[in-house]
Structure 1
């Protein structure tokens, strides 16, 4: 048995990754290259319900009450920590006003194993997402049009949908066995809006089979879906924020904050691996892999591994040319610039999840622990502001060549922090100096 928890009206509705339109032949700063996706992650839990100590390193920002805060001193236990194997159930929902044109197996294959493979690579094998898709449709009691499914979903309609979905699936699913719940609607049903995919976080959990269900991923994706869309939404389940810029009027470029450089910015990015800051947050980096550089100290000379490199990873993404001992060294350098701000430095290049990266080098970005999801908690600093790269493929070409490369020096605008990249070694590591 179960009951539906209260679904409150969120103060900061979170719109997920915008969908990408074909790039026009001529680029204009005023042109719109993406449309607002209704992949809205509706987030209702803002502050930590219970905070567990996490990192005591001096450059770890403190968690704030900001939704999906980038603070790392504690872990918000309202979210599952993906530092172990987690189980996800996929429930496929059909409606009485439509006969499905796809099978549950086909829809499951749209998202798995691509989603689990992404997280396995991003976590260096530390996290496994095990999908358990149902093999048959679960029939909803009302026509698809009765739920008024849309991007800005009415709270009552959304609550009715969740209640009916849980009622319909309860006889076939033991929800106590699962850490993540995906409700996947028949994408071809007339009332299903593919822009309505979202994570629904509940201020009062659903209850089923003796378990509390605090969040549900409601999937309304077309078949086939947007690339890595479920990985992005699952990132919210693990307390990761949206990193794109949300224009006040819904017009303009959405990707000016991080461009291609993190899945939580764009699911279409050429280099969508998670930032090293996020890997630290999720428990995938050891403290020894994070270097804190103190302001005012002598220049720090250090060596960093490519972010995506795990043990035996190929150098430069070249198969058969393994890195020697890669995977256990330092991957992130951090300069604390204020109470809630920091600069992060990491090596990005065409390896693993970043295989499509068109430039390699030291990526620099700002982190703000007090910024809400979707309001600039992370911003990439462009080391080459006068140029752009990968115009035909990048979601935001001005940031595609943001990294600092070998032989270059770069002073971060507005900060007395300078990085000089000395060399890229034959083993695949990068040597640099940071003056703060």
Structure 2
């Protein structure tokens, strides 16, 4: 979840035929752009960390326990997902700072929470921490409350800049809540994903759709507890972890053949994209049980649509449910879409995307790499 944000565009320049442009004026989209105020995703990314407690809920835990719940695992996730290209480092004085108001005074429940109350919370935390710690080079601020502050229930991200006590200006702020104890470090990776330019992939409307409705458990931006939470190849491409020559682009109708390597590996072709319009693409990638996807209950070729006109929370990415009769191999960790990958070993070789006239034939697998023939009629 994220809160208020200025007009921002995606973090990577559009120079590739399938790099669909970002929608101007939107919060967060799946498009590419030449301008960005998102945090960097290559090299060392520094995060300032402020630990806080409150007059009504003084800390009974330790800052080390809070740190251990989020930072080591969160940093390791980014390191693995980026193929070692992103190293997240925390800068903190490792002590609690007392907020000026009671935890209940910040109106943190989902019914009354607002960007205004969040900004007041951020300003109070920065003031409480003071200017004694040098945060030079930090791009994002993490504010982590004591576990005793039960009223700070969830973890929204503010996409606006903030100035820390030493004068360092960060690009965005993640305000963690009690949901970190349910999601673990995954909530750090999800919320930091917003600061890197990624939208929410779960429904954010009043229709009552389940969290896994659009993408199942195939990406952390959709379901933190999913069976295969690594980022989609499209996201890794946006973040610069996948190079342009690792994404094959189909822009004209006909038949083409490719060999696709699992996204959990650094080498090889990571995705094939069919550019069906200036704002839409059908993407295919291979998922395995390697890397961050060890809990996946299905492997193989995964297809999804990308719509750069769709804003965060409205389905900018949708895993294609070409097995509508399946109930999913892990209903509690991604629903019926957990079975969406096509496994060659199970003779699942032919996939049709009727609405776009696209069909895919899996012709073989070697060392986990899928050979596919794609026809666009």
- What TM-score comes out, normalization by structure 2 length? 0.92
State the match for 2:124 in structure 1.
164
In structure 2, do the counterparts of structure 1 residues 390 and 306 end up closer, same or farther at CA, with 3 Å as the change threshold? same
Say yes or no: does 1:402 pair with 2:358: no
Q: Counterparts of 2:287 and 2:295 in 1: how far apart (Å)?
A: 11
State the match for 2:309 in structure 1.
370
Kindly indicate whether the alpha-carbon contact (under 8 Å) linking 1:187 and 1:222 is maintained by their aligned counterparts in 2. Answer: no
Q: Counterparts of 2:179 and 2:323 in 1: how far apart (Å)?
A: 37
Kindly indicate whether the alpha-carbon contact (under 8 Å) linking 1:71 and 1:369 is maintained by their aligned counterparts in 2. Answer: yes
**Which consecutive unaligned segments of at least 5 residues does structure 1 have?**
1-15, 17-40, 310-326
How do 1:118-267 and structure 2 match up within 5 A? 118-151=77-110, 152-189=112-149, 192-195=151-154, 197-202=155-160, 205-206=162-163, 208-221=165-178, 224-227=181-184, 228-249=186-207, 251-267=208-224
3-state DSSP of counterpart to 2:49:
strand
Say yes or no: does 1:430 pair with 2:370: yes
Superposition deviation, residue 382 in structure 1: 1.6
In structure 2, do the counterparts of structure 1 residues 373 and 156 end up closer, same or farther at CA, with 3 Å as the change threshold? closer
Superposition deviation, residue 393 in structure 1: 4.1
Superposition deviation, residue 208 in structure 1: 4.5
3-state DSSP of counterpart to 1:176:
coil
Q: Counterparts of 2:284 and 2:274 in 1: how far apart (Å)?
A: 9
Q: Counterparts of 2:321 and 2:209 in 1: how far apart (Å)?
A: 19
In structure 2, do the counterparts of structure 1 residues 382 and 157 end up closer, same or farther at CA, with 3 Å as the change threshold? closer
Kindly indicate whether the alpha-carbon contact (under 8 Å) linking 1:62 and 1:369 is maintained by their aligned counterparts in 2. Answer: yes
State the match for 1:295 in structure 2.
252
Superposition deviation, residue 75 in structure 1: 4.2
Kindly indicate whether the alpha-carbon contact (under 8 Å) linking 2:304 and 2:320 is maintained by their aligned counterparts in 1. Answer: yes
How do 1:299-310 and structure 2 match up within 5 A? 299-309=255-265
Kindly indicate whether the alpha-carbon contact (under 8 Å) linking 2:126 and 2:164 is maintained by their aligned counterparts in 1. Answer: no
Kindly indicate whether the alpha-carbon contact (under 8 Å) linking 2:158 and 2:172 is maintained by their aligned counterparts in 1. Answer: yes
What value does the CA root-mean-square deviation take over the aligned residues? 1.9
Kindly indicate whether the alpha-carbon contact (under 8 Å) linking 1:294 and 1:336 is maintained by their aligned counterparts in 2. Answer: yes
Kindly indicate whether the alpha-carbon contact (under 8 Å) linking 2:14 and 2:20 is maintained by their aligned counterparts in 1. Answer: no
Kindly indicate whether the alpha-carbon contact (under 8 Å) linking 2:103 and 2:152 is maintained by their aligned counterparts in 1. Answer: no
**Which consecutive unaligned segments of at least 5 residues does structure 2 have?**
none
Specify which structure has the higher proportion of helix. 2
